[in-house]
């Protein structure tokens, strides 16, 4: 990739309603789109901020973006290193503290469970996870700390993974 190359990302958010009745009364429900993708995401605020738990909120999307980026970065590193990854499941979590100034996410924990085929040493897998983390575009874009705590499972070569 050319070091001077730029990538641009677009997003559209749309909300209809009225705020005339005050802070407690208006709907937090809105939708987001990221052209050229056709999917529409129906969003709200976190329930703590008068949103609804039935819809994704911006904080969840940040955690999901960090998790997805780490997954994609790791798969790229593993493929280049000849490691056969069969499954990757992440139970990501973040915390937002009102004690921090300014208020925002203060930490994201990524906890991937990574299933590999073959006998790649665990130390090598940890090194690939760390390299992927250093090259993760989203983690590099965030102000809060992002920690990756992987668990590895080895499956015999060529058997696949049933779970």
Q: pLDDT of 75-118, one tens digit each?
A: 999 999 999 999 999 999 999 988 878 999 999 999 999 999 99
Q: Which residues of the chain have pLDDT under 70?
A: 1, 157-163
pLDDT of res. 1:
60
Write down the CATH superfamily of domain 58-155.
K homology (KH) domain (3.30.300.20)
Beta strand ranges found along 3-130 (DSSP E): 12-14, 30-33, 40-43, 84-90, 93-97, 104-110, 112-117
Global confidence as pTM: 0.88
Long-range contacts of 44-52 (CB under 8 A, 24+ apart): 50/23, 50/24, 52/28
CA distances to 28, 37, 64, 101, 129 from 12, in Å:
16, 11, 18, 28, 33
pLDDT of res. 4:
80
- Separation of alpha carbons 59 and 156, rounded Å: 38
pLDDT of res. 97:
86
Q: Which residue has the tokens 């590099």?
A: 140
Domains in the chain: boundaries:
12-49, 58-155
pLDDT of res. 105:
94
For residue 94, give every residue at least 6 positions away whose Cβ sits within 8 Å of its Cβ, in sequence order, or none. Answer: 59, 62, 63, 66, 105, 107, 108, 109, 144
């Amino acid at each position: 990739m050319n070091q001077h190359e730029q990538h641009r990302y677009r997003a559209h958010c749309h909300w209809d309603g009225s705020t005339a009745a005050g802070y407690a009364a208006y709907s937090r429900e809105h939708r987001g789109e990221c052209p050229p993708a056709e999917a529409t995401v129906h969003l709200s605020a976190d329930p703590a901020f008068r949103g609804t738990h039935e819809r994704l909120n911006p904080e969840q999307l940040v955690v999901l973006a960090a998790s997805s980026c780490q997954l994609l970065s790791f798969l790229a590193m593993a493929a280049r290193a000849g490691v056969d990854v069969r499954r990757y499941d992440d139970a990501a979590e973040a915390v937002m503290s009102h004690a921090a100034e300014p208020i925002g996410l203060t930490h994201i924990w990524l906890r991937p469970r990574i299933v590999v085929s073959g006998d790649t040493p665990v130390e090598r897998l940890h090194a690939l996870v760390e390299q992927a983390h250093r090259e993760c575009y989203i983690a590099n874009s965030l102000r809060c700390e992002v920690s990756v705590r992987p668990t590895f499972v080895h499956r015999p070569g060529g058997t696949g993974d049933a779970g």
